[in-house]
A and B are shown apart, each in its own frame.
Chain A
């Protein structure tokens, strides 16, 4: 779809209408996608053009985005849609590349986490040449316009990735970050993603690097912070890592009355835990239904007076499919759990068959 709005009756508009009449019921883009999925005007996609190992379980994936890519601000993340075993899965990864790359590519750095469907696929199975889905870059985890005089980055594991995105773009500029401390935790020295690059920057005197190797030294405790970074309270601080670390550091900053100086990045805003039954919210009608774990959401919603689409009520006809934006449901036939979280699902939500799905937690359904 073109973003340009042609004058009505112009040649371009007439031509476009004729082409649409010729391709109905499909759109001209459906045919153009066969030949150039990355062209201008196509749904945003990218092609993997490189996969480089960083550590034993992390890789940097270089992606050539489609022509519609609007660029990113260092520190932001991009949602990527990857087909794993044929199923489209969406995940958010921080952009780690410089904004001024001449080849127009971007990179994300992915660490394989245990049972991580997408991260393991990208680290171990993804191939150069594969086309993936992209969203435009998003996120508030960025440096402010007025750069702070002193900055502290506390990271762990793959939490270094958005910080590296910022550092690579800002560290070379003398007007940018002048006094930077990076406090990074990883199991061993070999597990530090971008370890060589960080150490080189530290050796160059452009930042102070404090590595914490947790296999030997144990996890970082908040009361050690004052020893490691004595002036942490005066530093503008960005934190990215496991939820426990984020919570602890936020509480620590809060207790010092400097909560306004810390910014955290949480990829998983909510961890969906599958339970038995739950509160189902229907966003557009504003109705909330308490559903137990044995009743199809369709039945529970109808009993509460929600006008639901329905069909065979046996899971055959797909007439009852609705998008779930957030939550977990259990397939009453198989017990299989389907979850949706805003970051890890298609932006339209995960489509579920309400007639054979029971709530397995709090569900937010777009209907």
Chain B
């Protein structure tokens, strides 16, 4: 059983287009009230956090110069762990989100910030801000969904590899920063293909990531230990421990935040997000431009891989030919997945779900952006309409669920 499950009764099925519109208005109002309320206190807060974090890090590293002495090791390691956690979670993540861009301070800005993490900021902003937050929990789009090593959604195809999922998750937790760096590179997709491996954009990104990792490793496992003199070995173990603690912490916060049980399909944004595939990731992104004299990033800012921003999709998930990917209506009215096995147990011949699903029924369909209406915001962009039977030009997701042999097998395994 996966954390994300398909349910026959969609919790948003009862919403009318007007309901969705008014939800959008309410959400916009919440956003606006936050935007209106921010001010000098918030600016003082983030500066205070950055100031405290840097002093904590400096202090901890200073204490670790004497890490041969066990109390110094414990104190320094604890301080450095906390400093790294704050740097990643409260400062780096939020600054790279652009949360503090409104201050117009070039030193605390998403375009100039680099963080204490294996993943280069430029690549993380792409995979996290653009992909994860635009396509949250959309299989094939959002790498955060299991990070390619775990099956957390019923719609992910089951393979025996997932039997050892708890082990993969544990390893992922221990080496989380490298896991993030790897999935920003989409190694699972790019490595197996010779053509993708040779892509200059991909190679540049790999080079950029390796450079960042080399700098991070040099700092924690070479420079600071050597500066500690006789305490070199203990400083090395202290830094390794701090990185491990940070990895475990960030992993558990992220896992617990993303995959709560039960997490039903009501949170699934694939129904309401205009997935304009052609627009993603095709441009050579700008070099992070330094404002004033700030050049915070020794790693070169390589352009990201020119690529469609997606993992390989099962056939029934591929984008249609239209400019906007059609939302899958059958998710709202899906067949009970256990129908096949139950019927078999009752002595009936096994019926595949699509055969069961052939009975025509009226269904609600969500379409995105009525007739080229200019997008006015993430929520207003979505229009729900009761379009009735599917038009013939949009056959893929409206004419019943299509499953290939492998795809249908998942229903018997869950």
Chain A residues in the interface with B (C-beta under 8 A) = 1, 18, 20-27, 30-31, 34, 43, 83-89, 294-296, 307-319, 321-323, 332-334, 346-348, 350-351, 356, 367
Chain B residues in the interface with A (C-beta under 8 A) = 28, 32, 35, 38-44, 51, 54-55, 58, 97-98, 101-107, 109-111, 114-116, 125-126, 129-130, 133-134, 212, 215-216, 218-219, 222-224, 227, 276, 279-280, 283-286, 289, 291-299, 374-378, 381
Q: Which residues of A contact B54 (CB under 8 A)?
A: 26, 30-31, 34
| 9 contacts across the A-B interface (CB closer than 8 A) | A21-B219, A24-B216, A25-B297, A85-B40, A317-B125, A317-B129, A318-B98, A346-B106, A347-B291
Check if B376 sits within 8 Å of A25, measured CB to CB: no
CA distance A346 to B105 in the complex (A): 9
Q: Which residues of A contact B286 (CB under 8 A)?
A: 309, 322, 367
Q: How far apart are A336's CB and chain B's nearest CB, in angstroms?
A: 9
Check if A319 sits within 8 Å of B115, measured CB to CB: no
CA distance A295 to B372 in the complex (A): 12
Q: A22-B224, A314-B375 are in contact. Are A323 and B289 (CB under 8 A)?
A: yes
Closest to A26 in B: B296
Check if A316 sits within 8 Å of B134, measured CB to CB: yes
CA distance A87 to B43 in the complex (A): 8
CA distance A296 to B375 in the complex (A): 9
Check if B283 sits within 8 Å of A309, measured CB to CB: yes
CA distance A323 to B376 in the complex (A): 22
Check if A333 sits within 8 Å of B111, measured CB to CB: no
Closest to A358 in B: B374
Q: Which residues of A contact B109 (CB under 8 A)?
A: 351
CA distance A43 to B112 in the complex (A): 15
Please pick, from A22, A332, A347, the residue contacting B374 in the complex, using a CB distance under 8 A.
A332
CA distance A346 to B107 in the complex (A): 12
Given A83-B103, A347-B292, 19 additional A-B pairs, CB 8 A: A23-B219, A24-B215, A24-B298, A25-B115, A25-B116, A34-B54, A85-B40, A86-B41, A86-B102, A296-B374, A307-B283, A310-B283, A314-B375, A316-B133, A317-B130, A318-B101, A319-B125, A348-B291, A351-B109
CA distance A308 to B281 in the complex (A): 11
CA distance A88 to B289 in the complex (A): 18
Q: Which residues of B contact A322 (CB under 8 A)?
A: 286
Check if B293 sits within 8 Å of A321, measured CB to CB: no
Q: A295-B374, A317-B134 are in contact. Are A21 and B218 (CB under 8 A)?
A: yes
CA distance A87 to B101 in the complex (A): 9
Q: Which residues of A contact B97 (CB under 8 A)?
A: 318
Q: Which residues of B contact A25 (CB under 8 A)?
A: 114-116, 212, 215-216, 296-299
Q: How far apart are A13's CB and chain B's nearest CB, in angstroms?
A: 15
Check if B295 sits within 8 Å of A27, measured CB to CB: yes
Q: Which residues of A contact B378 (CB under 8 A)?
A: 314-316
Q: How far apart are A25's CB and chain B's nearest CB, in angstroms?
A: 4
Please pick, from A20, A83, A307, A312, the residue contacting B130 in the complex, using a CB distance under 8 A.
A312
CA distance A311 to B127 in the complex (A): 10
Check if A86 sits within 8 Å of B103, measured CB to CB: yes
Check if A83 sits within 8 Å of B43, measured CB to CB: yes
CA distance A30 to B295 in the complex (A): 11
Q: A87-B102, A318-B97, A318-B110 are in contact. Are A24 and B125 (CB under 8 A)?
A: no
Please pick, from B51, B130, B223, the residue contacting A18 in the complex, using a CB distance under 8 A.
B223
Q: A310-B279, A311-B126, A332-B374 are in contact. Are A27 and B101 (CB under 8 A)?
A: no
Q: A24-B298, A319-B130, A321-B98 are in contact. Are A87 and B219 (CB under 8 A)?
A: no
Q: A311-B129, A321-B110, A333-B28 are in contact. Are A87 and B103 (CB under 8 A)?
A: yes
Please pick, from B39, B98, B216, the residue contacting A85 in the complex, using a CB distance under 8 A.
B39
Check if A315 sits within 8 Å of B377, measured CB to CB: yes
Check if A86 sits within 8 Å of B284, measured CB to CB: no
Q: Which residues of B contact A43 (CB under 8 A)?
A: 292-294
Closest to B377 in A: A333
Q: How far apart are A208's CB and chain B's nearest CB, in angstroms?
A: 44
Q: Which residues of B contact A27 (CB under 8 A)?
A: 295-296
Closest to A25 in B: B114
Closest to A33 in B: B107
Q: How far apart are B374's CB and chain A's nearest CB, in angstroms?
A: 6
